[in-house]
């Protein structure tokens, strides 16, 4: 794997129906309310693209442009292409799990474009991967808390 290339996969088991989880995940402007590391989402006119600002545990932020490439409520798949500090794609797939639960599957494949991260590619890789894992745990925790609040949070 190239030193600037990252591939991530994460499954979030959730105690909520798949359609409910899908509706929350497709509401990108709402992410900052439940995912602390997503600092801002700005939707561009037309609603199919936008800008995402994020910052995790490390002392730098990332700014991404995001463009919807797939939105399929029937199969519960959301996919965007990203550019800016990271270039590639991100996909959510919401799958049924057990009696009334779901799994939100996160997949991401990106090339780092941010100069600082490229410069630190080799020594920083384990730290970048750990930082991403921490961010994903915080997102999962935030989404679970939102779902636990029930209809008042959704």
Q: What distance in Å separates the CA atoms of residue 17 and residue 37, rounded to the nearest whole number?
A: 25
**Separation between Cα atoms, residue 154 and residue 66, nearest integer Å:** 24
In the predicted model, what is the mean pLDDT of residues 8-19?
97
Q: What is the pLDDT of residue 81?
A: 98
The set of residues, in sequence order, having a beta carbon less than 8 Å from that of 137 and lying 6+ positions away, is: none
Lowest mean pLDDT among 70-79, 113-122, 139-148: 113-122
Place of tokens 């995940």: 25
Instruction: Tell me the HSE value of 134 on the side-chain side, using a 13 A CA sphere.
Output: 12
Handedness of CA 28, 34, 38, 41 (dihedral sign): positive
If pLDDT is split at 50, 70 and 90, which confidence band does 151 have?
A: low
| 112 domain residue, yes or no | yes
Mean pLDDT, to the nearest integer, of 18-37? 97
**The pTM is what?**
0.93
Tally of domains in the chain: 1
Query: What mean pLDDT do residues 39-66 have?
Result: 95
What's the CATH number where 85 sits?
3.30.530.20
pLDDT exceeds cutoff 80 at 1: no
Residue 153 pLDDT greater than 90, yes or no: no
- Residue 44 covered by a domain: yes
pLDDT band at 152 (very low <50, low <70, confident <90, very high): low
The confidence band for 154, taking pLDDT boundaries of 50, 70 and 90, is: low
Q: What is the pLDDT of residues 101-139, one digit of tens each?
A: 999 999 999 999 988 888 888 888 999 999 999 999 999
Report yes or no on 14 lying in a domain. Answer: yes
Is 154 among the domain residues?
Answer: no
Q: Which domain holds residue 11?
A: 5-149
Mean pLDDT over residues 2-26, rounded?
96
106-136: buried (b, 16+ CB within 10 Å) or exposed (e) per residue? bebbbebbbeebeeeeeebbeebeebbeebb
């Amino acid at each position: 794997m190239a030193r600037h290339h990252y591939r991530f996969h994460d499954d979030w088991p959730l105690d909520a129906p798949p359609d409910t989880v899908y509706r929350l995940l497709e509401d990108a402007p709402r992410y900052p309310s439940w995912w602390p590391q997503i600092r801002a989402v700005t939707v561009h006119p037309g609603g199919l693209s936008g800008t995402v600002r994020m910052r995790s545990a490390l002392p730098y932020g990332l700014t991404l442009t995001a463009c919807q490439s797939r939105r399929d409520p029937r199969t519960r798949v959301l996919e965007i292409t990203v550019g800016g500090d990271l270039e590639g794609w991100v996909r959510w797939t919401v799958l049924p799990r057990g009696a009334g639960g779901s799994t939100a599957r996160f997949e991401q494949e990106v090339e780092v474009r941010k100069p600082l991260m490229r410069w630190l590619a080799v020594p920083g890789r384990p730290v970048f991967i750990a930082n991403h894992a921490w961010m994903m745990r915080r997102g999962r925790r935030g989404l679970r808390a939102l779902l636990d609040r029930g209809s008042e949070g959704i």
